[in-house]
């Protein structure tokens, strides 16, 4: 697989920010995940390895180190639920339970219809507005189960 021309063009600019090309790898992985199906496929790793002049296994080594990079395809919507301390003190467990029930999903799982992936995550820096979830890359804070219903109800 070749990287889309649009991404190549972006990466050519990106790597000028750094004295060494490789520094662009993590930002590039983010862009690939955003543009190429929400995950980092083996094909993507190979294409990135070629672009950065690395071995595919080096790209895998980096991609697998960072929790934000998904190495399996997610559902259409990804719901990250913070399960760290400040959120837990304000009801994260209830939010997790509710999100799973409403979406027919288990933590770290994807619903049978492929619509939702629910992912427990560590502290997201929203502790003073706990509990929180990140829905498709957007924070939703000061959550209640009612707010969760509203959010999920509005999803296609």
Judged by the rule CB under 8 A, the positions of this chain that interact with other proteins are 17-20, 22-27, 29-30, 52, 61-62, 65-69, 80, 83-86, 88-90, 93-94, 96-97, 100, 106-108, 119-130, 134, 137-139
Other CB atoms closer than 10 Å to residue 72's CB: what's the count? 10
Of 31, 127, 145, 152, which lies in the binding site for ligand FES, with binding defined by CB under 6 A?
A: 127
Of 126, 133, 135, 151, which lies in the binding site for ligand FES, with binding defined by CB under 6 A?
A: 126
Work out whether 151 is an interface residue with ligand FES (CB under 6 A): no
CA distances from 105 to 37, 64, 79 (A): 20, 24, 11
- Per CB under 6 A, which of residues 35..64 are in contact with ligand FES? none
Work out whether 67 is an interface residue with ligand FES (CB under 6 A): no
Q: Which window, 3-11, 44-52, 73-81, 85-93, contacts ligand FES (CB under 6 A)?
A: 85-93
Region of residue 136 (phi > 0: left; psi between -120 and 50: alpha; otherwise: beta): left
CB 134 within 8 A of CB 121: yes
Q: 23 is in the binding site of which of other proteins, ligand FES, none (Cβ under 5 to 8 A by kind)? A: other proteins
**131 cis-preceded (ω within 30 degrees of 0):** yes
Work out whether 99 is an interface residue with ligand FES (CB under 6 A): no
Nearest to 81 by CA among 52, 121, 46: 121
CB 143 within 8 A of CB 133: yes
Question: Which stretches of the chain bind ligand FES, using CB under 6 A?
Answer: 82, 84-87, 123-127, 130, 132
């Amino acid at each position: 697989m070749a990287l889309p021309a649009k991404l190549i063009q972006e990466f050519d600019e990106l790597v000028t920010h750094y004295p060494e090309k490789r520094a662009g790898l993590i930002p590039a992985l983010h862009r690939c995940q955003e543009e190429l199906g929400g995950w980092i496929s083996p094909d993507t790793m190979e294409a990135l390895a070629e672009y950065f002049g690395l071995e595919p296994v080096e790209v895998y080594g980096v991609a697998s180190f960072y929790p934000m990079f998904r190495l399996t395809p997610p559902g259409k919507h990804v719901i990250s639920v913070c399960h760290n301390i400040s959120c837990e003190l304000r009801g994260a467990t209830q939010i997790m339970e509710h999100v799973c029930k409403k979406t027919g999903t288990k933590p770290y799982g994807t619903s049978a219809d492929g619509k939702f992936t629910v992912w427990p995550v560590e502290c997201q820096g929203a502790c003073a507005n706990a509990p929180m979830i990140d829905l498709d890359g957007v924070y939703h804070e000061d959550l209640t189960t009612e707010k969760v219903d509203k959010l999920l109800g509005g999803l296609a």
